[in-house]
């Protein structure tokens, strides 16, 4: 059971000012959470396999590799830029 003194200590660590009413509310809420965690700890999970996710979705990202290694394409793209310098895009400076 979390008492008011523990809530005051937690609030002090988090640098949160709580009213008397809030301290009582959080003491009750935190106690309820800890009671629920205690119930979960009593559940037998010895024969339960770990689950990473339940949706069956997979990460479908592709490898980040250049698919076009063509100098002509590079120069066509650079020619579309407003400004270039030494075969690179020239952009305004944003940091000093």
Q: Judge whether 54 and 38 are in contact, CB under 8 Å.
A: no
All structural domains of the chain with their residue ranges: 4-41
Tell me what pLDDT residue 67 has.
65
What's the confidence (pLDDT) of residue 49? 87
pLDDT recorded at residue 31: 95
Report the pLDDT value the prediction gives residue 64, as an integer from 0 to 100. 80
Tens of each residue's pLDDT in the chain, 96 residues: 899 999 999 999 999 999 999 999 999 999 999 999 999 999 999 998 888 888 888 888 888 877 666 777 888 888 888 999 888 889 888 887
CATH fold group of domain 4-41? Histone, subunit A (1.10.20)
- 5: exposed, middle or buried (C-beta count within 10 Å: 0-12, 13-18, 19+)? exposed
- State whether residue 13 is helix, strand or coil: helix
Residue in 1, 64, 72 with CA at minimum distance from that of residue 38: 1
Longest dimension (CA), the chain: 72
């Amino acid at each position: 059971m979390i008492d008011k003194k523990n809530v005051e200590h937690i609030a002090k660590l988090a640098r949160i000012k709580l009213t008397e009413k809030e301290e009582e509310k959080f003491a009750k809420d935190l106690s309820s959470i800890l009671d629920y965690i205690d119930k979960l700890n009593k559940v037998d999970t010895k024969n339960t396999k770990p689950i990473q996710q339940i949706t069956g979705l997979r990460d479908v990202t592709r490898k980040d590799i250049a698919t076009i290694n063509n100098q002509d394409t590079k120069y066509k793209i650079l020619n579309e830029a407003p400004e270039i310098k030494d075969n690179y895009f020239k952009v305004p400076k944003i940091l000093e």
